[in-house]
Every structure is written in C-alpha cells, then in structure tokens.
A and B are shown apart, each in its own frame.
Chain A
Amino acid sequence: ETGVTQTPRHLVMGMTNKKSLKCEQHLGHNAMYWYKQSAKKPLELMFVYSLEERVENNSVPSRFSPECPNSSHLFLHLHTLQPEDSALYLCASSPGGAGGLYNEQFFGPGTRLTVL
C-alpha cells in the first residue's frame, strides 16, 4: 500500500451512531490533517497533527474527535452527528512538522459520509 489510505470509503450512519474514520499514510510524513469538503464550499481544515501533537483545532464541534496514536495513523471519531455533517472527509499528510511553510500536502481518497 502506498500514499495515503482512508477507510471506509463510504459510510452511512444515523444521528445516534458512533463511528470512526481511519487514515494511514505510508510516506514517512510528520504531519497529518483532516479536512471536510461540502458541495460548493471550499475545503475546510478541521484538525492538524504535527509529530503526533494536535496543533490546530479549527473550531470544530465536539461531536468530531480526532486521535493520532502515531505519525502514520489518524482517526476521526464521530458521535451524534447532524445531517449537515454529510460531506467528503479527506485526510492529508505532509513531510514536515509544525512551522513548515513549504510542505506540500498529499490527500487520501476520502470517506463519503452520509448522516441520516
């Protein structure tokens, strides 16, 4: 497996469910990111982890909870979501840690989430 992988690729959940999205990067990168992409809106940065430390939490509701157990894995735990949370959730990684201005970000394929 190469690059950035995400599972599951599609997820349908009810508002009372608890689920988790998983991201794994095989690039030896030090930073990982969660983005939300909704139709007709720009990519929204949710969380940034650098060297396993959360360095950015972009005013995301507490029903989204990230976890980064090591530099290769990133999770997004979901609970009591709302229908407006339905979107494409993208994970990305970049080579450098915090403070790197010139770090290209590489994206995984995304998880298409539908909240009923």
Chain B
Amino acid sequence: QKEVEQNSGPLSVPEGAIASLNCTYSDRGSQSFFWYRQYSGKSPELIMFIYSNGDKEDGRFTAQLNKASQYVSLLIRDSQPSDSATYLCAVNEGGGGNKLTFGTGTQLKVEL
C-alpha cells in the first residue's frame, strides 16, 4: 500500500512567521510531488509542484524535496491569515500513469 503521511495538525503560527509543512511518502519510485491548498468547504487548489531534489521557490512558497529521505515540505514565508487552510501533499508514482496519492492534509492556522 503506497502511503503519503502528513501531520494532521492543527499547526498554529503567528502572522508574519514561517509555516513549515511536512510530508513523507512510502514509494521510493515516486517521481513528482504536488502541494494543494484546500479551504474549508472548497476544492483543492494547486499551489506548486516539484520534481527534482532541492528547493523550488514561487513567491512566498518554497517546496523542498529530498528523495533519499522520501520527504517533501512546503514553507510559507510571511504567513497571512488568508493562508489558513488545509494543505494536501500529493505524490505521483513512477512507472507511468498519472495517479496521485494524497495525504490526509495538515490544517494550518495563522493567528493575528
């Protein structure tokens, strides 16, 4: 059973701080990794994706990938109350196909 693990939270950070969200995956053959944000009652919204080891930055968001350790993380700099949401990690298996395995998500609360 291929698994994607996330701490369910809630993770509480003060406004302006850096929020760090982590995700581990079991399938060493996984090739691509995605972060989605889901507000309560809404559908998941793609934030960013990463394929190569290292960091990838997009505005206030940085995705970090370490395939050897099988973890991927998302950093949110200068956290805002509007960042309060559940963040879903999704992993695309290797071997062809476009099947994403999702974690249960981490709830982030940014407090004033």
B98 at the interface (CB under 8 A from A): yes
Do A99 and B99 touch across chains, with their CB atoms under 8 A apart?
Answer: no
Bound-state Cα–Cα, A104 to B102, Å: 13
A42 touches B104 (CB 8 A): yes
Min CB gap B74→A, angstroms: 15
- Neighbouring A residues of B94 by C-beta, 8 Å: 101
* Residues of chain A from 76 to 116 with CB closer than 8 A to chain B in the complex: 88, 90, 94, 96, 98-110
Segment 38-55 of B: residues with Cβ below 8 Å from A? 42-46, 49, 51
B43 touching A43, Cβ below 8 Å: no
A45 beta carbon closer than 8 Å to chain B: yes
Residues of B within 8 A of A (CB-CB), count:
26
* Given A102-B32, A102-B51, A109-B43, residue A42 in contact with residue B98 (CB < 8 A): no
Known pairs A104-B34, A104-B49 / 20 extra A-B pairs, C-beta < 8 Å: A31-B98, A40-B104, A42-B104, A42-B105, A43-B44, A45-B101, A50-B98, A96-B98, A98-B97, A99-B96, A100-B98, A101-B31, A102-B32, A102-B51, A103-B98, A105-B34, A105-B100, A107-B36, A107-B43, A107-B45
